[in-house]
Amino acid sequence: MKFDQSGVDALMEITSRPELVFVRGQGSWLEDHHGKRYLDFVQGWAVNSLGHCPPSVVKALNSQAATLINPSPAFYNKPSMDLAKRITGASCFDRVFFANSGAEANEGAIKLARKWGQLKRNGAYKIITFDHSFHGRTLATMSASGKPGWDRIFAPQVEGFPKAELNDLDSVRALVDDQTVAIMLEPIQGEAGVIPATREFMQGLRALADEKGLLLIVDEVQTGYGRSGKMFAYELSGVQPDIMTLGKGIGGGVPLAALCAREEVCVFKHGDQGGTYNGNPLMTAAGVAIFDTLMAPGFLDSVNARAKQLSEGLLALASKWGMQGERGEGLLRALMLDRDDGPALVDTARDMGPEGLLLNAPRASLLRFMPALNVTEQEVDQMLTMLDDVISKVRR
Ligand SMILES: *Cc1c(COP(=O)(O)O)cnc(C)c1O
């Protein structure tokens, strides 16, 4: 297959992309238009929880596509109810609203918290969020995010998202006032460079929220669905949030996300929330297939075994190359470099032959790893060997 420049020119330019067209994928491997294969430790940004084209999802999509694609969100459909029951059964939440993207689920969480504030807290509407956090690319979720510079690019912002420091409870307490309705955070900041909230901090936030009558919202778009080694990352700290959002891995690659809440918080009136594609049976059928694989006996144990292997391998590389170390939970991990050559490592890893390696550097001083949750022991070893090779090429 030829590289199609006119096709490239027809796409809106939003990011720099290598001159590669990916044509197929299977498990942990992607193939480009030259037929070159890549070991994929990005997986569509932690989206393909079971790797590329997992047979269970392909089967669910095929059979659902031939049965019913979208009756409209104004009617019930079985896959959406099946998936909602599974999620509420496996979590501390009572009800689920399905959305199409993480940002949309977070918008829903923000709306739900504001509605609850109108009804129960005299119109309180402010949601405390965190520096360096990432919640999506709609106007409200960009305003909620703490990415440097994001307060100006599409000014004016949506108002009401004061920023605290992760793992600094006093910085949160200092921001609480009469108009505060909620605290929202990622249990592990993903885009910021895989920075976990500590267990003590999560417990402190729960206590503070209870003391002040606030909602605790966890954005588990990246950390949920087995990524952290638990089904949901809030379980790592033993707290029960009031609202949780899911995205990325929940659909195993297809656009699916969810807003989950405890019964007391489910205060939407008819007409407050909705969306044409929300909860459609095609996507939720894929979601059921993913859920059942992740919850099968032994699956999360294997995620934790691969996480340990990856963590130890990254630590060994860090000490060999004089790097800072590694961190993360489950199969969301980062290698902390000793210099800003993350982007060079990513490019060299991708471009080397005969096989390439796909990695991500959310910051120049850091590599992030988010393989398929069913990555094999041999694939993790192969990635570590390839990475060692890449480092020696770049730093030679
Ligand atoms: C990716 C991500 C989002 C946004 O999800 P989209 O599906 O891209 O809208 C929100 N929050 C977190 C923590 C994410 O990692």
pLDDT digits (tens, 9 = 90+) for 283-321: 999 999 999 999 999 999 999 999 999 999 999 999 999
Pairing of β 215-220 and β 243-246: parallel
Rounded mean pLDDT, 73-81:
97
Active site includes 9? no
Answer whether residue 105 shows pLDDT above 90. yes
Q: Are 194 and 233 contacting, i.e. CB atoms less than 8 angstroms apart?
A: no
pLDDT of 42-67, one tens digit each? 999 999 999 999 999 999 999 999 99
Distance 389 CA to ligand 1 centre (A): 32
What's the pLDDT score for residue 22?
97
Q: Report which DSSP code applies to 109.
A: H
CB count in 10 Å sphere of residue 155: 8
pLDDT of 349-383, one tens digit each? 999 999 999 999 999 999 999 999 999 999 999 99
* CATH T-level fold of 55-294: Aspartate Aminotransferase; domain 2 (3.40.640)
pLDDT of 210-246, one tens digit each? 999 999 999 999 999 999 999 999 999 999 999 999 9
What's the pLDDT score for residue 256?
98
Active site includes 147? no
Calpha distance 227→361 (Å, rounded): 18
pLDDT tier, 135 (very low <50, low <70, confident <90, very high otherwise): very high
Answer whether residue 1 shows pLDDT above 90. no
Distance 316 CA to ligand 1 centre (A): 31
Our answer on whether the CB atom of 247 is closer than 6 Å to any ligand 1 atom is yes
Our answer on whether the CB atom of 42 is closer than 6 Å to any ligand 1 atom is no
Q: 15-38 burial, b for 16+ CB within 10 Å, e for fewer?
A: eeeeebeeeebebbbbebeeeebb
Q: Which of 231, 373, 384, 363 is nearest to 311 (CA)?
A: 384
Q: Are 130 and 189 contacting, i.e. CB atoms less than 8 angstroms apart?
A: yes
Structure tokens at 17: 């992309």
CB count in 10 Å sphere of residue 196: 22
| pLDDT above 90: percentage of residues in the chain | 98
Tokens 């590599």 appear where?
Answer: 367
Q: Are 73 and 284 contacting, i.e. CB atoms less than 8 angstroms apart?
A: no
Q: Are 181 and 147 contacting, i.e. CB atoms less than 8 angstroms apart?
A: no
What's the pLDDT score for residue 2?
82
Answer whether residue 178 shows pLDDT above 90. yes
pLDDT of 259-269, one tens digit each? 999 999 999 99
What is the average pLDDT score of the chain? 97
Structure tokens at 132: 């360096």
pLDDT of 139-151, one tens digit each? 999 999 999 999 8
Rounded mean pLDDT, 1-7:
87
CB count in 10 Å sphere of residue 274: 13
Q: Which of 93, 98, 130, 134 is catalytic?
A: 134
Q: Which of 248, 268, 291, 369 is catalytic?
A: 248
Q: Cα 308 vs. chain centroid, distance in angstroms?
A: 20
pLDDT tier, 203 (very low <50, low <70, confident <90, very high otherwise): very high
**Which atom of ligand 1 lies at the shortest distance from residue 137's CA?**
9
What's the pLDDT score for residue 216?
98
Q: Which of 175, 268, 256, 259 is nearest to 214 (CA)?
A: 175
Distance 48 CA to ligand 1 centre (A): 14
Our answer on whether the CB atom of 220 is closer than 6 Å to any ligand 1 atom is no
